[in-house]
């Protein structure tokens, strides 16, 4: 399966899910309307309003987009949570698939959500999680010391396949820019997850708050693809 086919598959899967949800909501609306009809004057637009509501709810619940981008991993010096100085390109060069995000430990908005999702991903994958390298790079390296990252990793029950990185401010920015993730200030960060099947392969860029089900789905689909 090539990338174009995979993108089409993602699109089709999203559609199928939306249609299923709309179908379920419509059934619910119809039964609600039956009750209305029995004890109140019929509003000819009631069903239409219910439908519109159902459709917009569905859209917001699945508002992630995934596209394939050919990022090259640059050679950038970072520091892993265990205190070891490493090179980003080398860290991502082993045969494992990579699931990556950018976070900071004092964030109270999207990072806790994204980190919980990573926790769920490793749990859902079970033994297969050993085939996946999970990577979280701090966008607040001055505050996120290796020790803080270690605490953060423990808070999210990160297994040995999930590494956290910090480094100099300039190198954190360089890492963010390499994946079009730099937004000028950590408070402007957006939910983003990057996935790569293997070294030399393009990246899947998933914007929006992806669920663990979404990410495991991408993993299973891409790994199964030849």
Chain positions contacting Cu ion, by CB under 5 A: 107, 110-111
Which one, 129 or 138, has the nearer CB to Cu ion?
138
First to last CA, the chain: 6
Which one, 101 or 122, has the nearer CB to Cu ion?
101
Which one, 19 or 113, has the nearer CB to Cu ion?
113
Beta strands in 8-76 (DSSP E): 65-69
35's CB contacts (< 8 A; 6+ apart) are none
Which one, 111 or 174, has the nearer CB to Cu ion?
111
Which one, 102 or 195, has the nearer CB to Cu ion?
102
Whether residue 165 contacts residue 178, with contact meaning beta carbons closer than 8 Å, is answered with: no
How near is the Cβ of 33 to Cu ion at its closest, in Å? 42
How near is the Cβ of 106 to Cu ion at its closest, in Å? 9
How near is the Cβ of 113 to Cu ion at its closest, in Å? 8
Which one, 14 or 112, has the nearer CB to Cu ion?
112
DSSP β-bridge partners for residue 102: 137
Q: How buried is residue 34: exposed, middle or buried, by Cβ count under 10 Å (0-12/13-18/19+)?
A: exposed
Whether residue 80 contacts residue 170, with contact meaning beta carbons closer than 8 Å, is answered with: no
| Nearest alpha-carbon partner for 91 in 77, 70, 104 | 77
How near is the Cβ of 62 to Cu ion at its closest, in Å? 21
How near is the Cβ of 133 to Cu ion at its closest, in Å? 21
Q: Does an H or E element contain 147, and which?
A: helix 146-155
- CA separation, residue 149 to residues 59, 137, 142 (Å): 35, 10, 12
How near is the Cβ of 116 to Cu ion at its closest, in Å? 12
How near is the Cβ of 117 to Cu ion at its closest, in Å? 13
* The two three-digit tokens of residue 67, written as one number: 């596209």
- What is the C-alpha separation between 116 and 3, in angstroms, rounded? 28
Which one, 97 or 114, has the nearer CB to Cu ion?
114
């Amino acid at each position: 399966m090539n990338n174009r086919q995979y993108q089409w598959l993602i699109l089709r899967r999203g559609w199928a899910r939306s249609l299923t949800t709309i179908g379920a909501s419509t059934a619910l609306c119809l039964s609600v309307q039956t009750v209305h009809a029995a004890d109140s004057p019929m509003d000819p637009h009631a069903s239409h309003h219910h439908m519109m509501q159902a459709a917009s709810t569905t859209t917001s619940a699945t508002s992630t987009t995934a596209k394939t981008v050919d990022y090259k991993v640059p050679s950038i010096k970072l520091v892993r949570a265990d205190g070891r100085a490493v090179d980003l390109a080398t860290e991502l060069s082993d045969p494992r698939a990579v699931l990556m995000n950018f976070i900071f430990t004092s964030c109270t908005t999207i990072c806790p959500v994204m980190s919980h999702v990573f926790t769920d991903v490793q749990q859902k994958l079970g033994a297969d999680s050993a085939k996946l390298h999970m990577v979280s790079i701090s966008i607040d390296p001055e505050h996120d010391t290796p020790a803080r990252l270690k605490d953060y990793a423990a808070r999210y029950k990160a297994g040995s396949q999930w590494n956290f990185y910090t480094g100099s401010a300039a190198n954190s920015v360089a890492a963010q820019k390499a994946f079009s993730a730099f937004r000028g200030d950590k408070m402007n960060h957006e939910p983003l997850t990057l996935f790569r099947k293997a070294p030399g392969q393009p990246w899947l860029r998933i914007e929006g708050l992806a669920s663990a089900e979404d990410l495991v789905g991408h993993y299973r689909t891409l790994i199964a693809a030849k």
